[in-house]
Every structure is written in structure tokens, then in C-alpha cells.
């Protein structure tokens, strides 16, 4: 059995901040006497991640997601606890470790604004000591998968946001990292580009067994990409498991979306569950029903009402995550 690639035990990170009163007087006072306080961004996280896993880190702003990624990649030093990534202590930033991962942040670019992407790829080739033949092969494979073969020589400033993001991903994968850290990779992108990037990441993960660790507020990213979800709130892990188990634990309702051949009255629907939506013409409606009973209720509706189409849907992932944060089901 292989060893986990990432092992964190009681990992914590605190930041020291100070308060300053407003105005000139407050500025002068702060020169001589500052009032400090600590912010615990990460509070005793313990987890392990195996090779090839796709893990989604979910949490509100300030929950500690990005701070955790930065400790995993060696950009931040843990205040306490133990951390091992690929057998290395990240903060030591050994050359072998730095060549084994990539960090892509949706709001920051590693490629130059006035230069074409290929120039950045060539620089990464030299930094990571990639041979000429492997480099040409990687450029061909990745540009084809991402559909950007025709823009590699176009300056970055001339590209759309979606094209730039694809180039950032390609630059991060030139040296074939074992771990890919993604921090909000689809932020600001349109729906079509988001889907293309998610499809690429999923296919790349399956083919290369690269471990993908994703932080995102886009629940579509998490739902389509991640097999495992880690929910963080106030620096602590409050859920760690599969999406399926999360749904079973916190989504106690399912939704029956129905289209009818003829008008159905509200009163005839409300006996089966909570009426979420109802069309003015009475030809479509959505019911919220008990998860355990949804199969029986759906069968009963199909047998008694003029149903043309019926779709059974899970609760929206955003709604479920909100319940996790609130500690309710």
C-alpha cells in the first residue's frame, strides 16, 4: 500500500495583527504602543491525501483554505503541528520538492503580460530542467487538450481571460508535477470556459494520476471535479468525506420536478410534499419531499396525476454547504 502524499497533523497557522485608532493621533500612538491580537487562520487541521485524489476545499472567505494550500506548498510556515508533502517538509523548499508540485491561483498570473505564452513555457522548461523532446511533446499534448494551439505565439495581453487561464494551467503542467494546487481556477470565467477547464482537469487527472487539490466558491467546480470534499470553517475541518456521504448526511430532501399533460391544482400536489414552485398555467411544478420517501412518492404521483415528465434532483450543493456551516440538516 502506497504512502499518502500529504500528511498534516494538528496543523495550525496564526497571524499577528495590530489595531490602530483612526486619525493622526491614532497613528502617533501606534508608533509607541501597539495593541496586538492573533488571528488563527488554520486551527489544528489533521488529514492525509493519497496519490491521484481530487480533493475540494470548501469554506467561506477567511475560513483558512488558501492559507492551508500555501502551507502545503511551502509559501507559509506553520505555527504548530506537523506537515509532510511527498516526504518533504515544505517550508525547507528543497529543489526536488519545488519541482514536484504546481500552484495555480486564479487571481495571479505566472506568465508575462507583454510576452506570448510560449516564452513563459520555455522559461519554465529551463527552470524545471525539462528536456527538449519531452518539452515539445508536452506542449503538443497540453495545447491540444486545452484547444489553444493557435494562440501560443500571441501576447498574453491580447488573449481573453479564458485563454489566459488555459495558458496558466499549461504552464503549471509543463514539468509534470505530482501535485496540482488550484486556488479559484475558474473565477471570472464564462460557463463554457469553466466546463472546458473542468473537463481538461478531470481527464488529465485520470491519465496522469496527478493529485488535484482545489479551493473554490464555484460549487459546479467542486461537484464535477472532486471525489472528496473537505469543508473548513474558522480554520477547522467540519467535514471530510465523499460528496455522496455529504448529500446523505445533510440533504434530507429531494426535489421532484414535474411537467403535466393537463392542469393540476396546487391542492392536489401539496398532499405529497412542500410545493417549491408552481407555474401559473398549472402545467409544471417542483416538490420538495423526504429523501427516504422520494421513490414511493414519485411512483404515487406517476400513478395518480397526468405526468408528462418527472425529474428527481438533489438539493443544490450551495444549500447543503450552508447547512453544514450552520450545523443543521
Tell me, what's the pLDDT at 238?
87
- 139 and 39 part of one domain: yes
Mean pLDDT over residues 56-75, rounded?
88
Quote the pLDDT of residue 277.
92
Give yes or no: residues 182 and 287 share one domain. no
Picking from 201, 216, 247, the residue at the C-terminal end of a domain is 247
pLDDT number for residue 110: 84
Q: State the average pLDDT for the chain.
A: 88
The set of residues, in sequence order, having a beta carbon less than 8 Å from that of 260 and lying 6+ positions away, is 282, 283, 284, 285, 305, 306, 307, 308
Give long-range contacts, CB 8 A cutoff, 24+ apart: 158-165. Answer: 159/117, 161/188, 161/189, 161/193, 162/189, 162/190, 162/192, 162/193, 162/196, 162/197, 164/109, 164/111, 165/106, 165/189, 165/193, 165/197
Give me 127's grid cell.
Answer: 527552470
Q: Are both 133 and 242 inside the same structural domain?
A: yes
DSSP string, 102-155: EEEETT--SS-TTS-HHHHHHHHHHHTT--HHHHHHHHHHHHHHHT-GGGTTS-
State the residue range of the domain holding 265: 252-313
**Helix (H), strand (E) at residue 185:** none
- Paired residues of 172 in beta bridges: none
Burial of 155 per CB tally in 10 Å (0-12, 13-18, 19+): middle
pLDDT in tens, 253-306: 889 999 999 999 999 999 999 999 999 999 999 999 988 899 999 999 999 999
Is there a single domain that holds both residue 212 and residue 122? yes
25 and 114 fall within a common domain: yes
Whether residue 242 sits in one domain with residue 264: no
Asked if the model's pLDDT at residue 329 lies above 60, the reply is no
Its pTM stands at: 0.78
Whether residue 34 has pLDDT greater than 80: no
CATH of the domain at 294: 3.30.70.980
Q: What is the pLDDT of residue 24?
A: 76
Residue 193 dihedral angles phi and psi, to the nearest 5°: -65, -40
Asked if residue 87 and residue 54 are part of one domain, the reply reads yes
Number of domains in the chain: 2
Query: The domain spanning residue 71 has which CATH number?
Result: 3.40.50.300
pLDDT per residue as tens digits for the range 9-25: 999 999 887 777 777 77
Mean pLDDT of 61-90: 91
Q: What is the pLDDT of residue 320?
A: 76
**30 or 166, which is more confident:** 166
Residue 268 domain-assigned (yes or no): yes
Please check whether residues 241 and 100 belong to one and the same domain: yes
Q: What is the pLDDT of residues 177-210, one digit of tens each?
A: 999 999 888 887 888 888 888 999 999 999 999 9
Residues 43 and 155 placed together within one structural domain of the fold? yes
Cα gap 22→12, rounded to integer Å: 32
Q: Which helix (H) or strand (E) is 161 found in, with range?
A: helix 161-173
User: In this model, does residue 2 exceed pLDDT 70?
Assistant: no
DSSP per residue, 261-321: SS---HHHHHTTSEEEEE-TTSSEEEEEEETTTHHHHHHHHHHHS-EEEEEEEPPPHHHHH
Residues 261 and 151 in one domain: no
Looking at the structure, do residues 55 and 142 belong to the same domain, yes or no? yes
Any domain includes 220: yes
Average pLDDT over residues 48-55: 93
Phi, psi (deg, nearest 5) at residue 245: -70, -35
Is residue 324 situated within a structural domain? no
Q: Give mean pLDDT, residues 149-173.
A: 92
Is pLDDT above 70 for 170?
yes
In the sheet with 274-278, reading across from the earlier edge strand, the strands are: 274-278, 284-290, 253-260, 307-313
Is position 325 within any domain? no
* Per-residue confidence (pLDDT) for residue 327, from 0 to 100: 60
Share above pLDDT 70 across residues of the chain, in percent, rounded to a whole number: 98
Would you say residue 288 lies in a domain?
Answer: yes
Lowest mean pLDDT among 69-73, 167-171, 185-189, 291-295: 185-189
Q: Tens of pLDDT along 207-221?
A: 999 999 998 888 888
Task: Assess if residue 152 is contained within a domain.
Answer: yes
226-237 per-position pLDDT tens digit: 989 998 888 899
Band (61; pLDDT cuts 50, 70, 90): confident
Residue 247 above 80 pLDDT? no
Amino acid at each position: 500500500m502506497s504512502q499518502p502524499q500529504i500528511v498534516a497533523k494538528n496543523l495550525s497557522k496564526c497571524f499577528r495583527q495590530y489595531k490602530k485608532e483612526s486619525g493622526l493621533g491614532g497613528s502617533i500612538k501606534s508608533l509607541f504602543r501597539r495593541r496586538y491580537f492573533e488571528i488563527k487562520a488554520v486551527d489544528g487541521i489533521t488529514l492525509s491525501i493519497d496519490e491521484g485524489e481530487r480533493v475540494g476545499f470548501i469554506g467561506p472567505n477567511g475560513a483558512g483554505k488558501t492559507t492551508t494550500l500555501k502551507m502545503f506548498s511551502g509559501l507559509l510556515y506553520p505555527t504548530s503541528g506537523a506537515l509532510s508533502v511527498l516526504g518533504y517538509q515544505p517550508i525547507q523548499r528543497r529543489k526536488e520538492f519545488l519541482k514536484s508540485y504546481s500552484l495555480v491561483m486564479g487571481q495571479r498570473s505566472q506568465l508575462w503580460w507583454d510576452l506570448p505564452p510560449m516564452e513563459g513555457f520555455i522559461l519554465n522548461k529551463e527552470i524545471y530542467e525539462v528536456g527538449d523532446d519531452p518539452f515539445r511533446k508536452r506542449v503538443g499534448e497540453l495545447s491540444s487538450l486545452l484547444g489553444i494551439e493557435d494562440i501560443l505565439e500571441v501576447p498574453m495581453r491580447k488573449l481573453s481571460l479564458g485563454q489566459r487561464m488555459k495558458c496558466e494551467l499549461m504552464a503549471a503542467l509543463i514539468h509534470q508535477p505530482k501535485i496540482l494546487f488550484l486556488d479559484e481556477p475558474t473565477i471570472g470565467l464564462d460557463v463554457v470556459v469553466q466546463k472546458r477547464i473542468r473537463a481538461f482537469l478531470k481527464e488529465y487527472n485520470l491519465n496522469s494520476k496527478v493529485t488535484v487539490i482545489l479551493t473554490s466558491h464555484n460549487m459546479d467546480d467542486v461537484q464535477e471535479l472532486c471525489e472528496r470534499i473537505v469543508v473548513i470553517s474558522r480554520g477547522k475541518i467540519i467535514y471530510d468525506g465523499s460528496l455522496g456521504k455529504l448529500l446523505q448526511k445533510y440533504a434530507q430532501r429531494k426535489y421532484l420536478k414535474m411537467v403535466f399533460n393537463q392542469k393540476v391544482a396546487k391542492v392536489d400536489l401539496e398532499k405529497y410534499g412542500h410545493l417549491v414552485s408552481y407555474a401559473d398555467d398549472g402545467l409544471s411544478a417542483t416538490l420538495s419531499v423526504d429523501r427516504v420517501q422520494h421513490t414511493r412518492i414519485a411512483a404515487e404521483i406517476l400513478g395518480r396525476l397526468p405526468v408528462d415528465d418527472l425529474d428527481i434532483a438533489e438539493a443544490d450543493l450551495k444549500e447543503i454547504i450552508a447547512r453544514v456551516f450552520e450545523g443543521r440538516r
